[in-house]
């Protein structure tokens, strides 16, 4: 039997190059007060097809990248108090809805203006509306504001945003395939998502706490139990039509300090942090750059610039307006807008699904034009890369601006401590 994914000499060399260059550039960026992830993204640009072409996207690297965001989201879940997350559910929903609707509408009209079909415009609008929860969790953790009120609202909004994007994608895929809008598939999607969160709440309140109370760490069994919980939740999330990272995040919420011996909790936390930030997360950010496909035609450059601009403006204005309506001042609203502006894994997953269905429908002559053109696909990938690059810089600028005047803000002290490291 032949296995496609195996530890080969080439994979070892690829990982050696990725981790070495990412570590060196990440450290260099950190010395200049910039986020480590920017160095990791630049490492991918240098090593990947966009520049030297030494490493390309492969199945083993793709698997490790997926595990990277999986571990990072579990760790983010551990770092956040679910009670505080629920306390800010209404601002989170307002921020999510604003950050979903405005980029979607702007993206639709931009693509229509560039001659795209209705389907193409709708799918691009959906791609622009996504927030990369894994990217934002890493940025917020690096800035030490993940556990603040703003951090809870941003992560809560990112979860709702991704759910809205995935549900919208399901509806659009169904319409593209059948040619008509049907209410039954929509209800099925809503029921599956509702059932997933219902099971998550029940497990978090009744099942996991009892198991955690008896949990020791003999032979790292505490880590094993946490990993099993994360895998179960990721699988249930996929069954519900959501991305596995939402399941991993919710599983991380189950592992709370008050449920177990503090020493066991700390060891579990340290192991997930080391596995994600020390190994797998750099692979994810480097691999993200491998998807860059540069074109130099004027029409492509203009389309990419337009898509990127409306993606950024739509998130900042839409999310900021949602936060402002719930009593947050202008500076806090701007921080939340920039905090929701990164794209990445989920957006690329959406695009891949659309391309796959488009090829099937074109082959069966169900549609005469693709659901996404090559230029639109490349523009979405470029937009995801640019916004991922801009997200930590713009968020750091917005937080620094706010903290220069609002000394009493809780997140300011944490951010200053992170900046002094």
Spatial contact of 385 and 306, defined as CB atoms under 8 Å apart: no
* pLDDT in single tens digits along all 421 residues of the chain: 455 667 899 999 999 999 999 999 999 988 876 778 888 889 998 999 888 999 988 989 989 988 988 898 898 888 777 777 788 889 999 999 999 999 999 999 999 999 999 999 999 999 999 887 777 788 788 777 777 888 889 989 988 888 888 788 878 887 887 777 777 777 887 788 888 888 888 887 777 777 766 666 666 778 888 899 899 999 998 888 777 878 888 888 888 776 777 788 888 899 999 999 899 989 988 987 887 777 778 899 999 999 999 999 999 999 999 999 988 888 889 999 998 987 766 676 677 678 878 888 888 888 888 999 888 988 888 888 888 888 888 888 888 887 776 555 667 776 666 666 5
Q: Report domain extents, the chain.
A: 9-420
Is pTM beyond 0.85 here? no
Query: What does the buried/exposed string (b/e) look like for 37-74 if buried means 16 or more CB atoms within 10 Å of the residue's CB?
Result: bbbbbbbbbbbbbbeeeebeebebbeebbbbbbbbbbb
Spatial contact of 243 and 161, defined as CB atoms under 8 Å apart: no
Report the CATH architecture of 9-420: Up-down Bundle (1.20)
Taking each continuous run of H as one helix and of E as one strand, the counts in the chain are 19, 0
3-class DSSP state for residue 261?
A: coil
> How large is the angle between the packed helices 262-275 and 59-79, nearest 10 degrees?
150
Long-range contacts of 198-202, Cβ-Cβ distance < 8 Å, separation of 24 or more = 199/236, 200/233, 200/236, 200/250
């Amino acid at each position: 039997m032949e296995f496609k994914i195996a530890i080969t000499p080439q994979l070892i060399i690829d990982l050696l190059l990725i981790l070495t260059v990412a570590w060196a550039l990440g450290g260099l960026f950190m010395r200049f007060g910039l986020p480590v992830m920017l160095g990791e993204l630049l490492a991918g640009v240098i090593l990947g097809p966009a520049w030297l072409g030494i490493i390309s996207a492969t199945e083993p690297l793709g698997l490790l990248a997926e595990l990277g965001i999986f571990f990072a989201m579990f760790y983010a879940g551990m770092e956040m108090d679910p009670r505080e997350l629920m306390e800010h559910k209404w601002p989170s929903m307002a921020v999510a809805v604003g950050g979903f609707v405005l980029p979607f509408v702007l993206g639709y009209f931009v693509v229509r203006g560039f001659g795209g079909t209705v389907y193409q415009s709708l799918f691009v609008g959906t791609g622009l509306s996504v927030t990369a929860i894994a990217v934002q969790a890493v940025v917020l953790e690096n800035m030490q504001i993940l556990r603040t009120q703003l951090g809870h609202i941003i992560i809560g909004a990112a979860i709702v945003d991704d759910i809205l994007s995935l549900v919208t994608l399901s509806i659009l895929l169904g319409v593209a395939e059948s040619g008509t809008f049907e209410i039954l598939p929509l209800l099925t999607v809503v029921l599956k998502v509702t059932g997933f969160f219902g099971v998550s709440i029940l497990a978090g309140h009744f099942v996991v706490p009892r198991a955690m109370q008896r949990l020791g760490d003999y032979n790292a069994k505490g880590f094993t139990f946490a990993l099993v919980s994360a895998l179960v939740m990721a699988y249930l999330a996929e069954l519900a039509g959501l991305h596995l990272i939402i399941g991993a995040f919710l599983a991380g919420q189950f592992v709370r300090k008050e449920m177990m011996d503090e020493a066991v909790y700390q060891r579990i936390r340290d192991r997930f942090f080391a596995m994600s930030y020390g190994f797998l997360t750099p692979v994810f950010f480097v691999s993200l750059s491998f998807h860059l496909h540069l074109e130099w035609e004027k029409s492509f450059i203009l389309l990419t610039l337009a898509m990127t601009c409306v993606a950024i403006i739509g998130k900042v204005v839409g999310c900021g307006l949602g936060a402002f309506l719930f009593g947050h001042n202008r500076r806090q609203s701007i921080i939340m807008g920039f905090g929701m502006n990164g794209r990445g894994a989920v957006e690329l997953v959406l695009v891949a699904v659309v391309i796959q269905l488009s090829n099937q429908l074109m082959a069966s002559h169900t549609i005469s034009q693709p659901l996404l053109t090559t230029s639109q696909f490349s523009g979405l990938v470029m937009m995801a890369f640019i916004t991922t690059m801009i997200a930590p810089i713009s968020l750091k600028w917005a937080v620094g601006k706010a903290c220069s005047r609002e000394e009493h803000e809780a997140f300011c002290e944490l951010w200053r401590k992170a900046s002094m490291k």
